[in-house]
Amino acid sequence: MSPHLRRASAALAFASVTGIGGYLIGQNGSTSAETALGGVVLPAPAPNTTRLLYSLDQKQNDQELIALIDATKKRAYFAMYEFTLKDIADALVAAKRRGVDVRGLVDAGESANSYDAPIMTELSAAGIPIETEHHVDGQGIMHIKALVTDTAYAIGSYNWTSSATNENDEILEIGTSPVLVSAYASLLERLLQKYAGTAAAAQSAAASASIGTIDYTEAPQHIGAYASVRGTLISAYTASSGTVFLDFCKSYKTCPFSAVIFSGDTKAFGDLSRLAGKTVTLTGTITAYNSRAEIKLTNPNQLSVAP
């Protein structure tokens, strides 16, 4: 049994005895207060129920959201005004890595400040499109705080910050009504489409600041830089999840650099095993993963082959 399934089963068993922290509203509209979780998090409420969580009762709203992200298989859309929690960002990156369609919308001003910017960098480097609002009149902010997965939504006053988790009076509503899940998903899709292109604009700006072409052995010295990394491709390995890893050494564990294409993007690249033994150049932001340098490829234009 996978860790996620074990986590869900344990939570359900615990819930059957003691209940879930917060207030549970069932199909009949009845409301009942529930006891503490004792550290166990339920990935989602029961079908057609809603849980209302007050932040300072458990101080674990972030874990509630991470459980939803961990459980989803196809979709994780979010809109967030303030986003500084690395644990939620890490969960979104992990979801992207296993093939989930992860997309986000953030406020133009907040996302650029010194607190939010590192999170935006982490998500963008993982190939997650992050759009920013830009109202035509120059006024207004993107003040939504919402997450929608395959079967659940989470919405309320709760920003994804430490202060909102541990100090502020916040409300987080988590529900599984198919009607509301669909409605929130449609709204976020509409906004993501409305502001589409801001992620591309950010990538263009990064390209203008490229450090140029370097050998793959030099990549670890340029973490965080936008560059073109050149090397002879040893193999293109496809994992069971569908994610493709481009290896430049016989032993990937000791190699200083690799590239990854998540399952949702692989179709555009075709069969990359045909490039084994060829000199290729990969362009993008160099990030660190498992103590190695890495570039995430989302577009075939990021890959070129020497004649």
Domain CATH number, residue 186: 3.30.870.10
The answer to whether residues 101 and 243 belong to one domain is no
Number of domains in the chain: 2
Mean pLDDT by 10 residues, the chain (307 residues): 40 36 56 42 70 93 95 96 94 95 90 80 89 72 95 96 94 95 96 80 58 94 89 94 92 92 86 95 86 85 88
Tokens encoding 98: 């296993």
The answer to whether residues 187 and 254 belong to one domain is no
Dihedrals φ, ψ of 175, to 5°?
-140, 165
The candidate with the shortest Cα–Cα distance to 113, out of 146, 158, 81, is 81
Question: Residue 35's pLDDT is what?
Answer: 35
The answer to whether residues 199 and 214 belong to one domain is no
Question: Residue 205's pLDDT is what?
Answer: 54
The answer to whether residues 81 and 180 belong to one domain is yes
Question: Residue 307's pLDDT is what?
Answer: 78
The answer to whether position 1 is within a domain reads no
Question: Residue 47's pLDDT is what?
Answer: 82
Amino acid in position 59: K
Dihedrals φ, ψ of 198, to 5°?
-70, -30
Q: Is residue 258 within 8 Å of 239, Cβ to Cβ?
A: no
Question: Residue 262's pLDDT is what?
Answer: 85
Alpha helices (H) along the chain: 3-18, 55-58, 61-71, 86-97, 108-111, 117-125, 162-166, 178-194, 198-208
The answer to whether position 26 is within a domain reads no
Q: Which DSSP category does 134 fall into?
A: -
Question: Residue 207's pLDDT is what?
Answer: 55
* Paired sense of beta strands 75-80 and 50-54, if any: unpaired
The answer to whether position 24 is within a domain reads no
Q: Tell which of 177, 204, 231 closes a domain.
A: 204
The answer to whether residues 85 and 164 belong to one domain is yes
Q: Tell which of 143, 178, 204 closes a domain.
A: 204
The number of CA neighbours under 13 Å toward the Cβ of 302 is 24
Q: Is residue 223 within 8 Å of 112, Cβ to Cβ?
A: no
Other Cβ atoms within 10 Å of 227 Cβ, number: 23
Question: Residue 7's pLDDT is what?
Answer: 36
The answer to whether residues 136 and 277 belong to one domain is no
Cα–Cα distance measured from residue 97 to residue 172, given in angstroms and rounded to the nearest whole number: 27
The answer to whether position 55 is within a domain reads yes
Domain coverage including residue 116 = 44-204
The answer to whether residues 164 and 251 belong to one domain is no
The answer to whether position 16 is within a domain reads no
